Amino acid sequence: MPDDPLELHTGQNVAEFMAAMRRLKAWSGLTYRQLEERAETAGEVLPRSTLASALERQRLPRPALVEAFVRACGCDHDTVAAWAALSRRLAEATDVAETTEVAGVADPEPDVGERGPRRRQPTGEFPAHRRLSKGRGVLPLRQ
């Protein structure tokens, strides 16, 4: 594993980027709790549960999380900026790839006449499962 965290941000795709983020965490030697505390000290929000989930996935986390994470790992401003720039480039490339896959397959926007999910209109009456039981009788709720 490289001693310089600058070498860890050289992912060419999302999977490599996420693997590099996991390596950066290992390089830092910090626990999720310690990373959360360091981010909080710097005035940033980096919940340990969110970070743990993000590092387990193969999807790009949001840019603010990447920046807070890299900063909490102890990297300088230039390193944080490099990681953030790579994250943005990968996100843009992913968006373009997804748009290209969808193009020509189907119109992603619904027709104007298409209805959304049906919803029940309130009737003003309470259903049977909303009644209170008192002793042997069943009393309806006040309306």
Does the pLDDT value for residue 37 go beyond 60?
A: yes
AA identity, residue 33? R
pTM for the whole structure: 0.64
pLDDT at 56: 95
User: 35-44, long-range: CB within 8 Å, 24+ apart, which pairs?
Assistant: 35/69, 35/72, 35/73, 36/72, 38/71, 38/72, 38/74, 39/68, 39/69, 39/71, 39/72, 42/68, 42/71, 42/72, 44/68, 44/71, 44/72
What is the average pLDDT across 9-31?
A: 88
pLDDT at 25: 95
pLDDT tens per residue, range 82-96: 999 999 999 998 776
pLDDT at 94: 79
Residue with tokens 């950066």: 24
Distance CA 19, CA 56 (A): 9
Distance CA 79, CA 70 (A): 8
pLDDT at 79: 92
Distance CA 19, CA 21 (A): 5
Does the pLDDT value for residue 66 go beyond 90?
A: yes
Higher pLDDT, residue 123 or 24: 24
Neighbour tally for 33: CB within 10 Å: 9
